[in-house]
Amino acid sequence: SSSSSSSSAINGRAFEDESLLGPFFGCSALPDPALLQRQPSVAEQCFSGLESRRGADVEQSIHTLRAVTKQTQEGLYQTLYAMLKHGGDVREGVVAWLAAACDANAGRSKMQIAPLLCSSHGFAHNLSMTTLRLAAPFTEPGAMKFTKIDPSYVRSRKCRLNLTEVTRVSATEEQARAGALTEAEETATESYGFICECFFLAARAMHLGYVKCVSEHTSLARELQDRQSQLGDVDAMRAQWAASLPGGAPNAFQSAQFDRHIGQLTNELARCKERYACFDSVLQDPRAIGEAMAFYRLVATWLIWVATDGRDAAGGVTLAREVAGKTGGGGGGGG
């Protein structure tokens, strides 16, 4: 597959900062890595002092963030949709921009993100949710529009995405190169339509954005638990620490030092809770979860359709019944 325009010459952070649409896609409640914290801090404004706030106040902050996120993503979608409807070079430019945004952020697929080289979580999340909206018209399996998604797209030089670094399930790099379309096949293949390109763009954007943000959310949950345990352990050691000192008690300076350490751990825990609350508010939004599940239902339906050479276009219903029968779960009603 061919690389998107100029994406190889620019990293994700620069793409977000310097491309025309980048800063707009960067508007988000999701916190950037601490090194690049933007001001004013949404986390501090909405979730500071969580321990002492009423539950209703916290719920209101969550509701507000979800409403603003929805409004922002709707505006981004409407902007792209209007340009796509314009057709011609404008439409081509939008599709190329989406592909370039994905290619510039290939580093977000790694276990550890380099924050100075990759776009913010907010940019990547907005990108993924906006491409989901563009794909929404053909996500309903019953519409059968998914049959226009050609799996040969990722083997073609016409593919806008650079997939050379994508993990393969069971193919070596040599096998992947050998599987590329031949000159004759490229010539015989008509141009891939928008449904096909949009599907693969959305799939890539989801992996780099929504899915990676969910992974970050999970990591924050573990960090939060670790910080709480650390604070509890240190605080519990106060009496043991004091008893170990000459005279069996700390002086004023030593007590102040210990209290400062406890205060530092407490502040770090509070900041972690604020960041976690931001991720929780955005990613646990039922609207976002529903749109993501609708897309991955389409992915599952399409994969089954491809695997059965087009014989099963019922969204895997036949396969599901066979599996349920073999596992003894075939007594349930149809959905």
pLDDT in tens, 138-161: 988 777 888 999 998 988 888 899
What's the rounded Cα separation, in Å, for the pair 12 and 5?
A: 14
User: Which residue bears the tokens 């979730």?
Assistant: 47
What pLDDT was estimated at residue 312?
66
pLDDT in tens, 160-206: 998 877 766 666 667 666 666 766 666 667 778 999 999 999 999 99
What pLDDT was estimated at residue 325?
62
Alpha helices in 237-332 (DSSP H): 238-244, 252-283, 286-307, 317-326
- Whether the CA torsion 136, 72, 121, 96 is positive or negative: it is positive
Q: Can you give the pTM of this predicted structure?
A: 0.84
- Domain boundaries along the sequence of the chain: 7-326
| Residues of the chain under the 50 pLDDT cut | 1-7, 330-335
User: 65, 273, 81: which is closest to 194 by C-alpha?
Assistant: 81
What's the rounded Cα separation, in Å, for the pair 290 and 70?
A: 13
